[in-house]
Amino acid sequence: MASRDETDRTDTANQAGLSPQAQPRSAQGDGSHGLPPPQLLSDAANKQFRLKLTMFWSVVLAAIVAAFATGYPSWENYIVQEAAKRQLRAYIDVRPRGIGAIEEGLVPRVHDTFHNIGRTPAYDNGSFSRILVMEYPLTRRLVNDECRHVTPDPKAGKWFIGTPKRPGVARESPLTATEVEAIKGGKSAIYFHGRVCYRDIFNEPHRTDFCLFWKWDAGRISPSLSCPQGNSSG
């Protein structure tokens, strides 16, 4: 026989709308295990985490800076080194000493010299030059051959500061009557062009392209003149 207290609890549950089968379950709970609420980091733990993260990225950044500092020269050092090379390296200048008489049947010949106007020796990497009779004024650029020695030649000559001895450059065929008439009539001129290739003491390749010409002026051949194009160095 149920006690009075159990009867009172049953009546209260019936008034709340719960079925008798649900009453024991409601009294004991739904049987599920609830998850505990998330715990937030304390202020001290949060500060410690931020400090460790900052120290980590500081170490990474310092390693990157050290790698660049030890592996590559700074931009300022690079500029200084390049400026020093330009002051010390060799520079070749081509200077003709004149041309022979302009007469039919004579072979035009130019005596030129290579002047090293730099402060250090230049190593010969080959040269090319040619004499032509063409229209005056010149309306097109003359093409030079490439250097013979693409790589350093252990047998290459060394041009010191000063002037090396060079044989004259001659055209393969003598002047014709038509060419002489065109030169003396001011319609043609004798052109001397070419390229000088060399290496400096830093083993860097360089070249000097030149173009000079002679024309008939007041009954005689003029001094050598520079072409409007075809003179450059690199």
What single string gives the DSSP state of each residue in the chain? ---HHHHHHHHHHHHTT--TTHHHHHHH--S--PPPPPPPPPHHHHHHHHHHHHHHHHHHHHHHHHHHHHHS--HHHHHHHHHHHHHHS--EEEEEEEE----TTPPPEEEEEEEE-SSS-EEEEEEEEEEEEEESS--SPPPPPPPS-SS--TT--EE-SB------EE-SSPPPHHHHHHHHTTSEEEEEEEEEEEE-TT--EEEEEEEEEE-EETTEEPPPEE-SS--EE-
Question: Is there a domain that residue 183 lies in?
Answer: yes
pLDDT tens string 199-221: 998 889 999 999 999 999 999 99
Residues facing 112 on adjacent strands = 96
**Residue 83's pLDDT is what?**
87
Averaging pLDDT over each range in 83-87, 116-120, 151-155, 210-214, which range is the top one? 210-214
Question: Is there a domain that residue 71 lies in?
Answer: no
Question: Is there a domain that residue 73 lies in?
Answer: no
**Residue 168's pLDDT is what?**
84
**Residue 26's pLDDT is what?**
43
Average pLDDT over residues 47-54: 70
Structurally, how many domains does the chain consist of? 1
Rounded to a whole number of angstroms, the CA Rg of the chain reads 47
Question: Is there a domain that residue 191 lies in?
Answer: yes
Question: Is there a domain that residue 74 lies in?
Answer: no
Question: Is there a domain that residue 80 lies in?
Answer: no
Alpha-carbon distance of 101 to 232, in angstroms, equals 29
Question: Is there a domain that residue 5 lies in?
Answer: no
A 10 A CB-CB count for 234 gives: 7
pLDDT tens string 66-83: 655 555 557 778 788 888
Of the pLDDT bands very low, low, confident and very high (cuts 50, 70, 90), residue 92 is very high
**Residue 73's pLDDT is what?**
57
> Which domain, by its residues, includes 98?
91-233
- Contacts of residue 174, defined as CB under 8 A and 6 or more positions apart, other chains included, come to 104, 105, 106, 107
Q: Is the pLDDT reported for residue 25 higher than 50?
A: no
Q: Is the pLDDT reported for residue 176 higher than 50?
A: yes
**Residue 167's pLDDT is what?**
77
Alpha-carbon distance of 13 to 26, in angstroms, equals 10
Match 């079925």 to its residue by tokens: 19
Q: Is the pLDDT reported for residue 31 higher than 50?
A: no
Question: Is there a domain that residue 216 lies in?
Answer: yes
Q: Is the pLDDT reported for residue 142 higher than 60?
A: yes
Alpha-carbon distance of 115 to 91, in angstroms, equals 8
Alpha-carbon distance of 136 to 227, in angstroms, equals 11
Q: Is the pLDDT reported for residue 139 higher than 50?
A: yes
For residue 155 the two structure tokens come to 């047998």
| CA dihedral over 169, 145, 105, 191, signed as positive or negative | negative
Task: State if pTM tops 0.75.
Answer: no
Average pLDDT, the chain: 77
Q: Which of 61-65, 68-72, 171-175 has the lowest mean pLDDT?
A: 68-72
